[in-house]
Structure 1
Amino acid sequence: MRVLKNVHGAPAPQSEPIAGRETGMVRNAAGGYVFPVTDWIRLERFLILGTEGGTYYTDARTLTLGNAAVVRRCLEADGSRTVETIVEISVRGRAPSNDPALFALAMAASFGDPKDRRAAGEALPRVARIGTHLLHFVSFVNDMRGWGRSIKRTVGRWYTDQELDRLTRQVLKYRQRDGWSHRDVLRLTHPKCASGQRLNDLMRWVTHPDTTQVDPKQLPLVDAFQRLQRAETVSETAGLLKEHAWLSREMVPTEHLAQKAVWEALLPNLPMTALVRNLPVMTRLDALRPMADATRAVTARLTDPEALRAARVHPLALLVASRTYGQGRSERGSSTWTPTPAVAEALEQACVLAFDHLEPMAGRVYLAVDVSGSMGWSHVAGLSNLTAREAAAAMAMVIARHADRHVIKGFSAAGGGGPSSGGWAHRTAMQALPITGSSTLREAVEATTDLPFGGTDCALPMLDALERGIEADVFIVLTDNETWAGRMHPSEALRQYRRRTGIPAKLVVVGMTATECSIADPEDAGMLDVVGFDTAAPNVIREFVGGVAA
């Protein structure tokens, strides 16, 4: 029967490969046939999206093992390119978490050839920029090949090559992570220290804090830290924080972090990521009142695009922070607060500003958000309070802000919603989402929150445009690529759209999870894969579509 269908030109359903392309297609985790992406695309997906939390069809461990194998293959194919990719994504802040980059760099340092291991060692200070990054890296290395001489030298140089005051702040601020402390690492690596007595004194204090006498003249930062640790009153703690601007929240005795005066002293010098993370506690302690000077200072920082870029604050982190802050309660625990409107609005703006400088997008844009069941259960970058389809809706809104002519629709499989699916029955498997370029992030996220689940059919956007006479220059589909339920493959639906309309339409597939496949045909130059919530993605899409709008 299938041979007869192919002879008569009937399209293959997504449960079967396209005729003549059998060897170039693979089954996805849902059972549909799609195109495998290259290992280099998979590497980028892993570095940006990670695998924590897994997907609807694949658990986190299986996904991680698969991506670890991808890193190994990339190292074997071109170790230099692999390390350069790791560094570029980490340094530019393209990912919401640095952990996948640290994991991949640990693999390069552990399993690469001698040249690749040297490159990984040289890259370590650029990827492990702070103390907690180093301890994560150490934990990954320890779980891989263990501690050879080259790894010990690499990690030891992270300490000895740094300027003394910066190193001191790192070992004081990030004292322990993943079961490792700097004391553990220094005792294991025994770094050769040839840059002066003060550095030797610091390392001696880190490894033997109880028996080392600190000279305030030699190690003034350690002396100030010890005085902060001994502070008995809130006023004494606040005074030290004002006197020593470099002292951080992590160094403050826990019992004093519940005091408004301490946060008022910390606020002027809080790093951007710490500022975003601690907005709820400062609001709860009444340190960010409406129209207060502190509130004005905070909103000015949050809406400064250069400050956001310099701090490498990822838009996904800001999206989660905005959602949590706006709802006035913690996702974990019982903390509550009344959001300060100006702060909530500034967080909204910050999420859009955190993307690379965005320019207007040319052409007519059909934005399609996959709202199927798998997108409703999968989470982005392991964030438990944000599903892949909610994140996709927010990203669609960001893209729409820079596309003058656009339509935004959600799609699931036709007839896949069941009897309780409301408007999502057979003839309404595509439905306009109440999202525009002027929507707030909260409105964009909430537009998909309560939609019914269904199967996945990524061909629907092109078929819907044909049926309704919608002229589109590009279809941007935000999906996990787990399509299976359609009567036609998405790439074939795009070709059908091109033939019937005469429009040389393009397809951009925005992958929202770190899977190994795509609906985009790699042999079609008019189809492109990008990684969801890559800060560079909107501009990559704009260039692919055809440049800047007039």
Structure 2
Amino acid sequence: MEPPANSTNNHTSAEDPWEITDKIRLRRFLCYGSEGDIFTAKGESHVSVDNAEALLSLLQEEEGGAEVVEEIRRFVQKGLAVRLGPTFFALALCSQHSKLNTRKAAFKALKDICSDPAHLFAVIQYKKELRERMECGIWGRALRKAVSDWYNKQDAMALAATVTRCRQREGWSHKDLLRLSHTKPSTEAVALISKYVTKGWTEVQAYYADKENSDEVVKVLSYLEAVEKVKHSCDETVVINLIEEHKLEMEQLLTENLKSKQVWRSLLKDMPLHSVLKILGRMTANKVLEPGSSTTQSLCERIRDEAALKKAKIHPFSILLATENYKRGHGYMGKPKWEPNKSILKALESAFYCSFMIFTRTEADTHVLVFSERAVVPCPLSPQMTLAEVTAELVKNPSGNTDSSLPITWAMENGKGVDVFIILTNNPLWTCTTSPVESLKKYRQTTGASSKLVFCGLTSYGHAFTDTGDRGLLNVSGFDLGALTVIRNFSQDLI
């Protein structure tokens, strides 16, 4: 696989270009919560100081704090982090460090990194957990200012939506944060939202009833009134009108409202695509999405829309998972049950190929091999193939055990220049004729290529190599969308 032109070369050591530096360990920690070379799908996202040695080491350097905060910002904003927990932990740690410049950098970046209230609550909780170990307080002047800025520097309507959609997480609420930060609202609209959060709707109504309000305040009042009405209304027509007029979301509705098919049909119109994919089965089981209905037709058009897919940044693997879950016809533990809708399945298939951006469809020069009878055999796949055609081609050869050194040997014997060897298998490791690590080193020496090796056990939780100290080796245990992100980051020399 050819790395992109703008990839970062992190060969920091003239003596050993494959040395795993503290910066690489930090990036791996920010990506998937571990400094090691093993990524485990669906692993634990909660982290602690005990597995952040590189982070602590870098923070001791002269300009280490600012550089660490910039790495955190980059991994969050560019979607490089598989799990966000480690990034929030790292930011919390920086914000409580002994160096003033590190703390300043962390607080300055808080709003950029914590784009959602759940992110902010997570950072505050990590700060609380770190307090005893680091023997420091939480609510100093710097944090109070950073939290105040988080509220004050947002668009008023966006803030009104976010505080009513995500009211509390991690044991913290907006009321807690506004009170503890001593936030002084910067605008009338933010003052209104703050009063609503801390005092409640009744007091807001009384306070603003006889005032001459600005247009922005009027808009926020109208929105909050809609949120309050929908919280107390069981009238289906009223709820639907409020949803459509104010673009309300399901998190703002009563559980009782979500029993209505018409309410769900209204919610689906503006629901983010990634959320839609998660509830297709439920909506089919509840007869919200019926064969031939206008709601179903409209939804299928959205799923097939290339521009919508691109805007929502829907990965093809997410669509593939949604398709397989929908085909299954039942949810977790068998409930609910549904008959998969053919038009929805066709729309999902169309969306999958529309957004297909991985491996052979991404790379102009890719060799696909299959393990077969203690050898590897070229498999003629092309970007034009359908998933069914790819599957049929892959099973033509008798399956064989996984000897991780064979693809490297094949490349050397056939004079192929390879940037990244990616081995995907659901078989246990077979005793290799040659160590894959030694095979890779020999290949590098012979060809002069800066080649890497990824071993991905699709269903097993083993690994091909351990503690090699070679930055060009990566183990992936299990497979999910996060695994694809990790492999991409690794291939592009980011971790």
Give the TM-score of the pair, scaled to structure 2: 0.72
- Aligned-residue CA RMSD (Å): 4.7
- Counterpart CA distance in 2 for 1:184 and 1:80 is 29
**What is the 5 A alignment of 1:70-109?**
70-77=54-61, 78-109=64-95
Q: Which moved more, 1:457-466 or 1:226-235?
A: 457-466
The C-alpha deviation readout for 1:256-288, integer Å capped at 9, x for no partner, is 213221111112211233223333322323333
Contact 2:41 2:483 in 1 (8 A): no
Tell me the residue number matched to 1:132: 118
Aligned equivalent of 1:459 = 405
CA distance in 2, matches of 1:65, 1:318: 36
Q: What is aligned with 1:329?
A: 330
The Cα shift of 1:169 comes to 0.5
Distance in structure 2 (CA, Å) of the matches to 1:543 and 1:97:
19
**Structure 1 residue 68 corresponds to structure 2 residue 52:** yes
Deviation of 1:206 (Å): 0.9
* 1-structure distance, mates of 2:421, 2:470: 14
Pairing partner for 1:509 from 453, 457, 461:
453
Secondary structure of the structure 1 residue equivalent to 2:452: strand
Supply the distance in 2 between the matched residues of 1:58 and 1:533 (Cα, whole angstroms). Answer: 10
Displacement of 1:493 in angstroms is 0.9
Residues 310 and 64 of structure 1, relative CA distance in 2, 3 Å threshold: farther
Counterpart CA distance in 1 for 2:293 and 2:467 is 50
Q: Does 1:150 align with 2:152?
A: no
Q: Secondary structure at the match of 1:212?
A: helix
Out of 236, 239, 249, the position equivalent to 1:237 is: 239
Separation of aligned partners in 2, 1:503 and 1:401: 26
Contact 1:80 1:119 in 2 (8 A): yes
| Percent of aligned pairs sharing the same letter | 28
1:28 aligns to what? none
Q: Distance in 1 between matches of 2:253 and 2:45?
A: 36
Partners in 2 of 1:68 and 1:55 — Cα distance? 15
Change over 3 Å in CA distance of 1:341–1:487 after alignment to 2: same
Kindly indicate whether residue 26 of structure 2 is the aligned counterpart of residue 43 of structure 1. yes
User: More deviation in 342-351 or 220-229?
Assistant: 342-351
Matched-pair contact (CA < 8 Å) for 1:83–1:120: yes
Give the alignment partner of residue 154 of structure 2, picking from 137, 143, 162: 162
TM-score (norm 1): 0.66
1:273-308, CA deviations, whole angstroms, 9 ceiling, x for partnerless residues?
A: 322333332232333345554444434444555544
8 Å Cα contact 2:82-2:485 kept in structure 1: no
CA-to-aligned-CA distance 1:155-181 (integer Å, 9 cap, x gap)? 222112212211111110011222222
Q: Which amino acid aligns with 2:55?
A: V
Instruction: Give yes or no for contact 1:348–1:440 (8 Å, CA) kept in 2.
Output: no
Hey, what does 1:477 align to over in structure 2?
422
Counterparts of 1:140 and 1:351, CA distance in 2: 38
Q: Which residue of 1 aligns with 2:182?
A: 190
Q: Distance in 1 between matches of 2:326 and 2:181?
A: 42
What's the counterpart of residue 178 of structure 1?
170
Q: Does the CA contact (< 8 Å) of 2:422 and 2:453 recur in 1?
A: yes
2: CA distance between counterparts of 1:483 and 1:141?
42
1:266 aligns to 2:267 (yes or no): yes
Residue type of the alignment partner of 2:54: V
* Contact 1:96–1:314 (Cα < 8 Å) also in 2: no
For 1:254, what is the secondary structure of its paired residue? coil
Q: State whether residues 280 and 325 of structure 1, in contact with CA within 8 Å, keep that contact through their aligned partners in structure 2.
A: yes
In the aligned structure 1, how far is the partner of 2:330 from the partner of 2:273? 21
- On the 8 A contact 2:422/2:456 being kept in 1, the answer is no
How far did 1:337 drift?
Answer: 2.6
- Letter of the aligned partner of 1:509 in structure 2? L
Whole-Å separation in 2 of the counterparts to 1:354 and 1:131 = 30
Q: Hey, what's the Cα distance between the residues in 1 that align with 2:90 and 2:109?
A: 12
For the structure 1 residues 166 and 80, does the alpha-carbon distance in structure 2 shift closer, same or farther, using more than 3 Å as the test? same
* Mapped partners of 1:351, 1:116: distance in 2: 44
Q: Please state how far the C-alpha of 1:67 moved relative to its aligned partner.
A: 3.9
Q: For residues 76 and 284 of structure 1, what CA distance do their matches in structure 2 show? A: 56
CA gap 1:435/1:62 in 2 versus in 1, 3 angstroms: farther
Query: 1:62 Cα shift?
Result: 10
Compute the displacement of 1:237 (Å). Answer: 1.5
Aligned to 1:400: 360
The partner residue of 1:494 within 428, 431, 440 is 440
User: Which amino acid in structure 2 is aligned with residue 201 of structure 1?
Assistant: L
2: distance between equivalents of 1:352 and 1:530? 28
* Aligned residue pair count: 442
Give the 3-state SS of the residue equivalent to 2:120 in structure 1. helix
1:204 is aligned to 2:199:
no
Equivalent residues of 1:93, 1:313 under 8 A apart: no
| Cα distance between partner residues in 2 of 1:93 and 1:203 | 31
Work out the CA distance in 2 between the residues paired with 1:506 and 1:156: 48
> For structure 2, which runs of at least 5 residues remain unmatched after alignment?
1-14, 132-137, 210-217, 477-481
Instruction: Encode CA deviations 1:53-96: one digit per residue, 9 max, x unaligned.
Output: x9779984997655433332333342222222222221122344
SS of 1:339 mapped into structure 2: coil
Of residues 184-193 and 38-47 in structure 1, the stretch that sits farther from structure 2 once superposed is: 38-47
Question: In 1, distance between residues paired with 2:316 and 2:448?
Answer: 32
Q: Is the Cα–Cα contact under 8 Å of residues 319 and 441 in structure 1 kept in the other structure?
A: no
